[in-house]
Chain A
Amino acid sequence: MKKPLTLKIQLLVTLLPIFFIFTLIVSIVSYSLFYTNTRSYTNNQIEQSSYQCLNNYETFFNSVIDTSNSIERKVSNMDLINHQDEITTYLDDLLSLQSELSNAAIYSLEGEVIASNLNYESVTNATTTDWFINANNNRLLNFFSSIDYLDGLYGFTLSKYVTYNTEQEGGILKLDFDFTNVINLISETDLGNGGHITIYDNNYNVVYCSGIFNQKETELVQDVVLGSKIVRLDNVEYNMYISTLSNTRWKVAIFTNYESISSTLSNFLIILIILTIVIIVVEGGILYFVSTGITNPIRLLKREMSNVESLKFNPNDLLLIKGNKEVIELSKSFNQMMKRIDELAKKNIEEEEEKRKSELKALQNQINPHFLYNTLDSIVYLIEKKDNEKAEEMIIALSKFFRISISKGRTIIPLEKEIEHVKYYLLIQKIRFGKSFSYNIDIKIDISKYYTIKLILQPLVENAIIHGLKELEGNGKINIEVDKEDDLIKISISDNGFGILPSKLNEIYENMKDKTKNSSVGLKNVYQRLKIYYGEKADLKIISDLDIGTTIIIYIPISEALKNEEK
């Protein structure tokens, strides 16, 4: 099964691609819009300026054709031979009206000048010239010579077959034009770096080029023929616009530098890419913070909860998680729940304590009342025997014994008192039983600061007297020793009786540890009280060697023994 993702990762994984794609789409769309718009705008502009350029040429060539046409109209109904003055004046007028027109003449089909402006130098052997032959061959067309460049001036010749004298005779009209001003004017059009205009004739021979002519462009012009296209010449992009020049058989190719648009586009692209990356990074950052803001309180809450799991929990340390409303409420509810749990636990502990105390009391109260009866019987016996000294001694011992037993109802008494308590007991028992046993108390450490629960030694000593020494007439020995072992106080009570069989010993242990069995053997009573009061660290051990004796050892933690208060 797939490992479940954290909320934060899930938020990031889901939202980040959406943001990313969205940003990307916005970027792509805006670039393509910008690209199309810029291109179409620039193309439009270039087309407009190219068109303007072409217009200027056409306006000029139309005026040239108009001049030719008006001369043709003028002479078609005119007897040139008999009206020399009139035609000369007319041509001179035309020359002064149209600054570009430098010469105008009409040649007969034999090559003689029939009419011309005043200062005209006639061409010899006119019939052999290109302009004459071409105009004569196709009598409907205006023939344009290629553009000459001479002494800084551009010039060309137009020739046309015309009829005169009411169409009865024919001749060749020859008009020389000075093209320089027009070319200079058009050259002012800004075509960008390297931009230029080339004029081709019918067979793609270059008639004129305003810039540096590149051999490759002829191929490009032949490919495209008409219209516009983006082309590359010497690694520079140009918009090439080709059109025909009306009334001529020429073609104009206008090359406008197109690099600026490429750099504009690439600049925009770079800015857009940077911007896109920045936006995506910012989006990612914002998304990270937002998702952290959402998930962090949840994460903290989770940590709080796991503190509880690992039992490091303290209800006073509970944090109120800051975050969004849901998390705050969740945190509050959790805290409340934890407090409630804590209260319940405390209550439970208190109840347990109460129960323990009552158990302790009950156990303490199980001290054998027979001892009192027996002792009193012994005192009566001593009195009857008029052994008043011993009787008195016994009564005093009994009185002190009970004083310590009761200890004003306290459970905890100084260890010294407990030891004293046992001494009185032993004294009483010794008087009762006579010289049947001896005892020795050996305190190896300073016990003045230690406390203990009361009545833990007396039952054990009683055991030792009853079970260990009963049969030993006069040789019984009880040895009580108080010592330290690590952080425990070790109190051992030894007898020199027969000892206990190992099987019996196990039975005793089992019996001792079993709470449920309600047998009021002293050993068990002491063991249970040690455990209830001191917990696991306190212990009771029985060491027994057959025919040598039995030692019972009580262990009390020193840390607990220093406390003089009831739990």
Chain B
Amino acid sequence: MKKNKLKLFLLLPLLLLTSCKQENNNISLFLYAADDEFINELTLAINQSFAGDYDLEIFSANRRQSIQNRQISSVIDSNLSNLMIVNIVDRLSSKSIIEKAATTNTPIIFINREPLLEDMLTYDKVYYVGTNPTYEGELQATIADNLFGGYQNFINSKYDKNKDGKLQVVQIKGEQGHQDTESRSYYSLNKLNNLGYQVDLLSSVFCDWTINSAYNEFRNIYNDFLDENFNSEIELLLCNNDEMAVGCINYLLTLDSYNEELSITDQYFPIIGVDASNNGLEAIRNGYLYGSVINDSEMQAEAIYKISDALLNNKDINNLDLTFEDGKFIRTNGKIVTQSTLIE
């Protein structure tokens, strides 16, 4: 009896230890920043799809790759995570992070910020889920084209304000070096060109996805391009995301010439964003933002969930109803959102 008690006593810490041992369901989510509107929506969607089945721990790197490195290395070194979802700060660091994950054979899903393909190919348990920025850029062009009713109808229309037959465009870009920035910017103009428009890029500026930066940069640009009657020469404002579009709108709303009766599209020029974030949708309803492209966070979250589930439970990734580009990349296609689609 006494011996049994002693055994129990000795076993107790072991039992405690084993009860503490995690099962196969710890997922760490590393975000580049905690104040990015779209990232927050995506995080929320991921949280919802993983809720109940998995424990999700979220880290934010405050836009510093060195902080994210520390977070990742501490998680990997202490073996706390069965799978990592990484919204990398600096896509050039992806190689190191993939190598680090490979030391413990931890699967890793990059989101939102695309690592380099050459890095992705060095490890079999790495995937990317993000948007299709090329298609998003093209959809921005399509929205504008739909509004103008084709290039022929644009010429000399009220949208061709200076009646020169050219489309004067300003680009508000996201972050320098971000693949979405470059692709959205490039392919929106590319598509307009393909649709026959003569595009005159007045200015393009990097605003790091944020409202404030866009507000300040756009103030300069707006004032740089005024005709002799102090009317804006801009005929189309393309923004890499809705947040920056809202920043531009906020500036326009401060102008003396702003008339609450008219939509911004009619009064100044159409503004088209990407993401269809909550702020963006609000702006569309208010008639400030003409259109946006849904960067479908829920769809991405679902894809992330499916890949995670397959990786953690040794299911064949190829049996999922997902299309991988280069065997590694999931890029969700956006959809057009305007006031009229919202009504529908």
Contact = CB atoms under 8 A, between A and B. Distances in A.
Interface of A: 51, 54-55, 58, 69, 72-73, 76-77, 138-142, 166-168, 202, 222-229, 242-244, 246-249, 251
21 contacts: A69-B206, A73-B206, A77-B202, A77-B204, A141-B92, A141-B177, A142-B177, A166-B201, A167-B204, A222-B99, A223-B103, A224-B103, A225-B73, A225-B99, A227-B69, A227-B73, A227-B76, A242-B73, A246-B64, A246-B90, A249-B95
A227 B69 CA distance: 7
A51 B69 CA distance: 11
Given A69-B176, A244-B93, A225 B66 contact: no
Contact of B201 (A139, A167, A229): A167
A477 B119 CA distance: 152
B89 A225 contact: no
A359 B96 CA distance: 124
B73 A140 contact: no
Interface in B161-216: 176-177, 179, 182, 189, 200-206
Nearest to A248: B92
Given A227-B74, A227-B100, A246-B65, A202 B95 contact: yes
Contacts of A224: 103
B326 to A, nearest CB: 16
A100 to B, nearest CB: 20
Contacts of A73: 205-206
A225 B99 CA distance: 6
Nearest to A68: B176
B310 interface: no
B97 interface: yes
B158 interface: no
A226 B90 contact: no
A248 B72 CA distance: 19
A168 B198 CA distance: 13
Contacts of A222: 99
* Interface pairs A-B: 4 shortest CB-CB: A227-B73, A244-B93, A225-B100, A226-B73
A165 to B, nearest CB: 9
Contact of A76 (B73, B92, B204): B204
Interface in B197-239: 200-206
Interface of B: 64-66, 69-70, 72-74, 76-77, 89-90, 92-93, 95-97, 99-100, 103, 116, 176-177, 179, 182, 189, 200-206
Nearest to B101: A225
B203 A166 contact: yes
A222 B189 CA distance: 43
Contacts of A247: 90, 92, 177
Nearest to A77: B203
A57 to B, nearest CB: 10
Contacts of B203: 77, 166
A58 B66 CA distance: 9
Contacts of A248: 92
A224 B101 CA distance: 10
A339 B177 CA distance: 111
A229 B74 CA distance: 11
Contacts of A243: 65-66, 69-70
Contact of A51 (B66, B95, B200, B205): B66
Contacts of B99: 222, 225-226
B4 to A, nearest CB: 25
B169 to A, nearest CB: 9
A170 B70 CA distance: 38
A54 B67 CA distance: 11
B76 to A, nearest CB: 7
Nearest to B204: A76
Q: Most B CB atoms within 10 A — which of A69, A72, A226? A: A226
A227 B92 contact: no
Given A77-B204, A226-B72, A246-B90, A140 B66 contact: no
A208 B210 CA distance: 36
Contact of A246 (B66, B103, B205): B66
A244 B96 contact: yes
Given A142-B177, A226-B96, 15 more contacts: A54-B66, A69-B206, A77-B203, A139-B182, A225-B96, A226-B69, A226-B72, A226-B97, A226-B100, A227-B73, A227-B74, A228-B73, A229-B77, A244-B96, A246-B92
A55 B66 CA distance: 8
A72 to B, nearest CB: 7
Contacts of A167: 189, 201, 204
A182 B221 CA distance: 36
B69 A244 contact: yes
Contacts of A55: 66
Nearest to A202: B95
A39 to B, nearest CB: 15
Contacts of B204: 76-77, 166-167
B145 to A, nearest CB: 20
A375 B72 CA distance: 144
Nearest to B74: A227
Nearest to A204: B99
Nearest to B206: A73
Given A166-B203, A226-B96, A249-B92, A244 B73 contact: no
A227 B65 contact: no
Contacts of A249: 92-93, 95
A229 B204 CA distance: 45
A212 to B, nearest CB: 24
Contact of A225 (B64, B103, B176): B103
Nearest to B97: A226
A73 B203 CA distance: 10
A376 to B, nearest CB: 103
Contacts of A229: 77
Contacts of B64: 246
A76 B181 CA distance: 15
Contacts of A142: 177
A447 B46 CA distance: 137
Nearest to B179: A140
A249 B97 CA distance: 12
Given A226-B96, A244-B90, A247-B92, A72 B70 contact: no
B89 A246 contact: yes
A223 B89 CA distance: 23
A229 B73 CA distance: 11
Contacts of B103: 223-225
Nearest to B102: A225
Interface centre among B77, B92, B201, B202 (most CB of A within 10 A): B92
B74 to A, nearest CB: 7
B177 A140 contact: yes
A167 to B, nearest CB: 5
Given A225-B96, A227-B74, A244 B201 contact: no
A244 B65 contact: yes
B176 A72 contact: yes
Nearest to B96: A244
Contacts of B77: 227, 229
Contacts of A58: 66
Nearest to B66: A243
Contacts of A166: 200-204
Contacts of A251: 96
